[in-house]
């Protein structure tokens, strides 16, 4: 299987054989470059399963999909998202950033009462999260779990890595906390989208049974397309189910 452990063992073995067999430096450079490329690919593709298991879709063949929102809560846009979800009767999963939680406790309680679930999206969402040591990653995860537990009274089990980046340190921290990594298989790219029609068309065009869609409840463009997205997906025969039901995993301990 193409994962970090087997690839590393294979590369070390190949390198030893190569050196013993009198390889030229070009071959060694090529091997090291190939290895580095694989490591980077594994790190940036959340569905690669390269460093750790990450649930990125449901297994259903039915036209069922789940929407998830990252990076909130936000006093303005999360509230607008909740209003739309309530009007459309769509359940969602919110992967929250820890440092934003305390100020928006009321919003979280509302979301919980309306049947949505929560996951952990790190405390800092720092750009350098992928370079943190195991203890620091674990500390971030525990901080968020504690804050969420104080507000909603439940211990969350789902973790979504910031930027979708995985590596051996994040893998170990997730294992140590007993959490489950949950990714996506449709990335809306709503944080960089400029055009509402294009964003809507690209997400609708990517829909498939068991899909987990990644949106951000911090983006006004996402709020703007959400009603049309829900209606169009339903017109295409899709049913919205909550993430934990789609992947058949418990969201809380
Ligand atoms: Zn994020």
User: Residues 20-68: pLDDT tens digits?
Assistant: 998 889 999 999 999 999 999 999 999 999 999 999 999 999 999 999 9
pLDDT tens string 233-252: 999 999 999 999 999 999 99
Question: DSSP 3-state assignment of 117?
Answer: strand
Return mean pLDDT, the chain: 96
Q: In angstroms, what is the span from residue 59 Cα to ligand 1's centroid? A: 24
Q: Name the CATH superfamily for 64-246.
A: Glycoside hydrolase/deacetylase (3.20.20.370)
- Residue 238 three-state SS: coil
Share of the chain above pLDDT 90, in %: 96
CA of residue 13 to ligand 1 center, whole Å: 37
Cα distance between residue 146 and residue 149, in whole Å: 5
Triad 84, 155, 116: Cα angle to 5°: 10
Q: How many residues are recorded in the chain?
A: 253
What is the band of 1 on the pLDDT scale with cuts at 50, 70, 90? low
Distance 74 CA to ligand 1 centre (A): 13
**Furthest-apart CA atoms within the chain: distance in Å:** 69
The protein residues having their C-beta less than 5 angstroms from ligand 1 (an ion) are 70-71, 162
pTM over 0.75: yes
For residue 69, the CA-to-ligand 1 centroid distance in Å is 9
Buried b (16+ CB within 10 A) or exposed e, 49-59: bbbbebbbbbe
Q: How far is the CA of 209 from the centre of ligand 1 (A)?
A: 24
155-190, pLDDT tens digit by residue?
Answer: 999 999 999 999 999 999 999 999 999 999 999 999
HSE-CB for 191 with a 13 A CA cutoff: 11
Give me the pLDDT at residue 2, please. Answer: 82
In the reported structure, the alpha carbon of residue 245 is separated from the centroid of ligand 1 by a whole-number distance in angstroms of 22
So where are the chain's domains? 4-44, 64-246
Confidence tier at 201 by pLDDT (50, 70, 90): very high
């Amino acid at each position: 299987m193409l994962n970090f452990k087997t690839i590393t063992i294979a590369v070390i073995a190949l390198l030893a054989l190569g050196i013993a067999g009198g390889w030229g430096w070009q071959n060694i450079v090529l091997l090291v470059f190939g290895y580095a490329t694989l490591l980077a690919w594994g790190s940036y593709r959340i569905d690669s399963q390269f460093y750790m298991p990450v649930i990125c879709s449901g297994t259903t063949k039915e036209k069922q999909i789940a929407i998830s929102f990252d990076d909130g809560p936000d006093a303005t846009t999360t509230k607008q998202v909740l209003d739309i979800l309530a009007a459309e009767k769509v359940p969602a999963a919110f992967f929250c950033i820890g440092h934003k939680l305390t100020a928006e406790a009321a919003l979280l309680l509302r979301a919980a009462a309306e049947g949505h679930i929560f996951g952990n999206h790190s405390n800092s969402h720092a750009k350098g999260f992928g370079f943190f040591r195991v203890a620091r990653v674990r500390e971030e995860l525990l901080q968020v779990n504690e804050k969420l537990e104080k507000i909603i009274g439940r211990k969350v089990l789902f973790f979504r890595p910031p930027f979708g980046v995985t590596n051996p340190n994040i893998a170990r921290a997730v294992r140590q906390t007993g959490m489950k990594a949950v990714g996506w298989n449709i990335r809306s790219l709503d944080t960089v989208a400029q055009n509402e029609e294009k964003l809507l068309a690209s997400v609708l065009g990517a829909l498939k049974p068991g899909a987990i869609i990644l949106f951000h409840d911090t983006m006004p463009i996402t709020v703007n397309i959400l009603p049309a997205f829900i209606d169009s997906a339903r017109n295409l025969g899709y049913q919205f189910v909550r993430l934990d039901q789609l992947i058949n995993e418990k969201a809380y301990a």
